[in-house]
Amino acid sequence: MIFRRFLSSSTRLLNQSAAASSSKRLPRITLYTGGPECSLCEIAKQDLQIIRYTHPFDLETINIHEPPESLDPVKAEKIRDDYKFDIPILHLDDHYIQKHRVNSTVLKQTLEAYDPTDPSPSYAENKFRRDPRPVPGIGKKRKGKGKRLEKARKEMKEAEEKEKREREESEKEGVQGDVVDVQGEKIDLRDVGQAGSDVGGRG
Q: Would 198 be classed as within a structural domain?
A: no
Q: Would 87 be classed as within a structural domain?
A: yes
**Predicted confidence pLDDT, tens digits, the chain (203 residues):** 544 454 455 445 444 444 444 457 899 999 999 988 889 999 999 999 999 999 999 999 999 999 998 889 999 999 999 998 889 999 999 899 999 999 999 999 999 999 988 888 888 777 777 766 544 433 344 445 456 556 656 666 777 787 788 888 877 765 555 655 656 666 665 665 555 555 455 55
Task: Quote the CA–CA distance of 141 and 154 in Å, as a whole number.
Answer: 20
What are the residues facing 29 on neighbouring strands? 59, 92
Task: Quote the CA–CA distance of 94 and 181 in Å, as a whole number.
Answer: 99
The pTM of this model reads 0.53
Q: Would 120 be classed as within a structural domain?
A: yes
Q: How many domains does the chain have?
A: 1
Determine the structural domain holding residue 45 and report its residue range: 25-125
SS3 145: helix
Q: Would 196 be classed as within a structural domain?
A: no
Q: Would 105 be classed as within a structural domain?
A: yes
Q: Would 200 be classed as within a structural domain?
A: no
Here the CATH number for the domain that contains residue 114 is 3.40.30.10
Q: How many CB atoms lie within 10 A of CB 64?
A: 23
According to the model, what pLDDT value does residue 139 have? 36
Q: Would 154 be classed as within a structural domain?
A: no
Q: Would 84 be classed as within a structural domain?
A: yes
Using CB atoms within 10 Å of the CB of residue 52, give its burial: 0 to 12 exposed, 13 to 18 middle, 19+ buried: middle
Please name the residues in contact with 79: beta carbons below 8 A apart, sequence gap of 6 or more.
32, 62, 64, 67, 71
